[in-house]
Amino acid sequence: MNDSEQAPLISDEGEVGFVEYQDFVSKEPFQFVSGGSIPELTLRYETYGHLSAAKDNAILICHALSGDHHCAGVHGIEERKQGWWNFMVGPGKPIDTTRYFVICSNVLGGCQGSTGPGSINPATGRPYNLDFPKLTVQDMVKAQSLLIDSFGIDRLHAVIGGSMGGMQTLQWAIDFPQRVGRYIALACGARHTAQAIAFNDTGRQAIISDPEWKGGNYDPQEGPAQGLAVARMMAHITYLSDVGMESKFGRKRRSGDQSREHFEVEFEVESYLRYQGASFVTRFDANTYLYLTKALDRFDLHSPESLDVTLQAVTAPGLVVGFTSDWLYPPQGNREVVEALLRLGKDATYAELAMDFGHDSFLLRAPQLYELMHRFLSR
């Protein structure tokens, strides 16, 4: 049985239902690792479940590059699309909202309500654009810690995330070891490979080369849509797998005039990728894409000394999960983190799941992933 088969519905599972986002606002200056600063910051977030009187049941979920704070539920009766991890978060689900108080925030540097390049700089009354400071995953985590402080939470039951969210999760375990009860990092690694950096930079160049980018000072309504769409199309390919794409699309063609050459959609996979690019432009900011992908490329737990030295700070038990068909963040990169933790005598577990959907496998419901998450959070 392939691990990516749909898990059977569990009779006692429920839904989070209607949710509303909230904004955490800090009026204190925020200092970035780079030395830059902003006079204040906002993090948009959602919560699910109830915080216990002891404030010891909180779980922080960290999202991936194209994700946001809306990981479960719906915002209204008209909304058809549920949060990006809705199958994982809710009553009776692995991240059980009858037991846990779940928090998910849009990262610092994001474009879904949190302070980022497109936000207004209070000092100038204009968008930051490229005046926004150099961003790192460490900055994202530091900002999240302020949000957690606002709840009066000293220690999180768990921090969980996949991809960029997995990197944030590892950074939490390193930077705030006394505040993390356990962590689950999925489909990530200690640093990007040269290939991953190359794909990211090619996407950035697609945006920067678009005349509508205008040195980062574009009108939000008239930005570098073509460049951002191409960047998304290319990145989306890296989230999939050859087996998955072949199974879904193969060489299926669309009907059309076969008597003349044209460069419009001919294959179904072309249609799919163009749709991904076009829809992404309607919900994402180009400068944010530049900043977040650069932050991912800079993430390097081998620096400044070695992976072992960096991970020495970790005290919480951890679960790291790799996926066999993930060629963007290959299994060996996930395994490397756990091997280093074990060398240091840390409590760490590695699991590798055979799924055919590439890097995005962690976003799909699968029986073994369900069981892993449930068991680890309950230990």
Write out the binding residues for substrate: 232, 360
The verdict on whether omega for the bond into residue 177 sits within 30 degrees of 0, i.e. cis, is no
105 a catalytic residue: no
Strands 41-48 and 101-105, sheet pairing: antiparallel
Which of the following is catalytic: 70, 157, 236, 359?
A: 359
Look at residue 92 and give its three-state secondary structure.
coil
Q: In what order do the strands lie in the sheet with 348-353?
A: 22-26, 41-48, 101-105, 58-62, 158-162, 183-186, 318-323, 348-353
Which of the following is catalytic: 4, 66, 119, 163?
A: 163
For residue 257, the 8-state DSSP code is: -
**Location of structure tokens 């995953």:** 137
Which of the following is catalytic: 3, 96, 326, 356?
A: 326
Q: Are 41 and 128 in contact (CB under 8 A)?
A: no
Q: CA-to-CA distance for 115 and 107, rounded, in angstroms? A: 8
Q: CA-to-CA distance for 298 and 337, rounded, in angstroms? A: 17
Angle between helices 137-150 and 286-298 (to 10 degrees): 100
Q: What's the distance, CA 71 to chain centroid?
A: 10
Give the chain's count of helices (H) and strands (E): 10, 12
297 a catalytic residue: no
255 a catalytic residue: no
Angle between helices 194-208 and 286-298 (to 10 degrees): 160
Q: CA-to-CA distance for 150 and 105, rounded, in angstroms? A: 13
Q: Give the catalytic positions in this structure.
A: 163, 326, 359
